[in-house]
Structure 1
C-alpha cells in the first residue's frame, strides 16, 4: 500500500493495482471518467462507513482495491448478523441513490445528458458487480451473513471461501474466453486474478479466521445472555474431540453441549465457556471431551 491520507477524517489506502489503473486512465486522457469513478467508489464505501459508525463499530480504514473498495473494521462476527447485513448493503444502496439523483438532475436539465448516462452506467456496474457472491465483495459478505443463520460458523467461512473461489475462477475464465470473441478484457482479468488470489489466501487462513471468531466469542455470549436467548443444544458422544465440538458453534446461538455415553445416556451437560477454555489450551484441544470433564 502507498502512503495513506485521511479525507473527511477517514483513513484511506490505495492498493498499488488501483493506483496503476488510475494513473493509466489519466495518461490515456480519461481524467473526467476516472475522477467520476473514484467519487462513486468513495461514496459507495462511505455508505458502509456511516452505517458501521452508526452501530458503534470501530472502523480502521477504507482500502481502495482494483474492484472498488473495502471497509476494514475491528468487529469480527461478534456483532448481530442483522447489523452486518445493513452495513454490507449500505454500499450498493448509495449507488441506487446516486442513480436516482442523476436521473432527477438530468430531467431538470441541471447536468449534461451524456455525463448523466455515463454516471448512471458506472453506478450500475459498480453496484451490481459488488453484489456478486465473492469475498470480499458486498455480495460475498451478504452470503456469509445469511449462511450464519443456518450453518456452524466454521462451515460458513469454509463454504463462503469455496463459493468465492469458484466464482473468481469463472470471472477469470470469462475474461480469457473473450480473447476469442472481442479481445482480452484486461481489467476483468486483473480483477478476477486478484479475487482468486485473495480467496485462496483466505481459504488457507481459515483456521486463523476461525480463531478470531472464537476469541471474540465471549462478547457474543455476553450480548446473547444480556438480551435473553434460547439455548441451542449440541448432542455429542463423549469420544468427540474438543476441536470437533467447537466447530459446531453457530454465530448467533448460545450452545449447551449434551455428552452421551455408549448406551445413549446423557452423562453431563456443558455450557460453551469450559469448552472454549479447553480449546485455547493447545494441550487439551485434541482431547476427547470425556477425558477432560468426566
Structure 2
C-alpha cells in the first residue's frame, strides 16, 4: 500500500495474480497498459470528489477495475454522486480521443490504437453496469435515493447488485452446457462482486448509522437554506427505528405523530428523532 497526500493506493491480491499471469503468458505491456487505464479512470473519480470537497481515503485497484473510497457516507447530494461516478468513464472517453489523435499524428500503430481503444471501451462499459461498487451501481443508488428512503435504497440496490452478479456468474458458466470452456475471467469477477455485495448487504445497519451521523449537520444546513419540509406521518406507537428508516437522503423532514383516532398529537423536527436515535443507540 502506498500513501500520497492522505490518499492510500492499494492493489487487490486478485489483480496481482492477474498481473503475474500476464508475465507467464507474455502480455506484460498489455497488462501494464490496462493497469494505467484503470488508475487514470479512478483518478478521475478522485479528482471530481476532491472538487466537491470529499476526502478520498483510498483508491483500490480491483480485478474488474477499481474503487475510489470516500468519506461522504451518504451525505453528498445526488448530483455530486452522479458526477463523481461519471468522472471515471469520462477519463476513458478522453483516453480514446487521445489514442485516435496519436494515431492520426503517426505516433501509434493501428493495431496498438485498436487495442487501447477496446480496453477503454471495455472498462467504461463494464463499469456502467448497475452493480455496486461499479459506477453504474453508484448512479442507480443516487437516483433511487431521490424517490425512496435511504435505508430502502441501500437494501434494494444491494439486492439488484447481487442479482446482476449472479446473472454474471450464470453467463460465465453457460458454456458448460455446450461442453465448451467457461468464461473464467467473468466468473472470477462475478464471484468477487457477489461476495462484496453480500458483505455490504449484511452491513446495511452500520452503513445506515454512518448516514445518520451526518444527518443532524445536514438538517441544520437545509433549515438555513429554507428547504421545504417533506412530511412523514406516523402513528404514536411507531418505533423510533422504523421512523428514521423513512428518512430520504435529499429531504428535510417534519414528523407528524397521530393518535389512534387520527388526530395530530405532535409535530417533531427530524433533529429531535436523530438525537433520540443516537441516545438509544448509545444505551444499547
Q: Tell me by how many angstroms 1:105 deviates.
A: 1.8
Aligned to 1:211: 209
- How far does the alpha carbon of each residue in 1:167-213 deviate from its partner, in whole angstroms, 9 at most, with x for none? 00000110011234441111111100000000111111111111111
Mapped contact 1:278–1:285 kept (Cα < 8 A): no
Once residues 113 and 28 of structure 2 are traced to their aligned partners in structure 1, the CA distance between those partners, rounded to angstroms, is 16
Q: Tell me by how many angstroms 1:8 deviates.
A: 8.2
Aligned to 2:72: 75
Runs of 4 or more above 6 Å deviation: 283-286
Mapped contact 2:216–2:274 kept (Cα < 8 A): no
Aligned to 2:142: 145
Once residues 142 and 246 of structure 1 are traced to their aligned partners in structure 2, the CA distance between those partners, rounded to angstroms, is 24
Aligned to 1:202: 200
Aligned to 2:2, the other structure's residue is in SS state coil
Mapped contact 2:128–2:134 kept (Cα < 8 A): yes
Once residues 187 and 18 of structure 1 are traced to their aligned partners in structure 2, the CA distance between those partners, rounded to angstroms, is 11
Once residues 18 and 104 of structure 2 are traced to their aligned partners in structure 1, the CA distance between those partners, rounded to angstroms, is 33
Mapping 1:1-294, distance limit 5 Å:
4-6=1-3, 10-181=7-178, 182-282=180-280
Mapped contact 2:219–2:271 kept (Cα < 8 A): no
Aligned to 1:262, the other structure's residue is in SS state coil
- How far does the alpha carbon of each residue in 1:234-255 deviate from its partner, in whole angstroms, 9 at most, with x for none? 0111111111110100001110
Q: Tell me by how many angstroms 1:6 deviates.
A: 4.2
Unaligned runs of 5+ in 1: 287-294
Root-mean-square deviation (CA, aligned residues, Å) is 1.8
Q: Tell me by how many angstroms 1:11 deviates.
A: 2.3
Once residues 164 and 226 of structure 2 are traced to their aligned partners in structure 1, the CA distance between those partners, rounded to angstroms, is 39
Once residues 285 and 259 of structure 1 are traced to their aligned partners in structure 2, the CA distance between those partners, rounded to angstroms, is 24
Q: TM-score, normalised by structure 2?
A: 0.95
- How far does the alpha carbon of each residue in 1:6-57 deviate from its partner, in whole angstroms, 9 at most, with x for none? 4787521011111111111122100110011001000000100111111111
Once residues 229 and 127 of structure 1 are traced to their aligned partners in structure 2, the CA distance between those partners, rounded to angstroms, is 36
Aligned to 1:77, the other structure's residue is in SS state coil
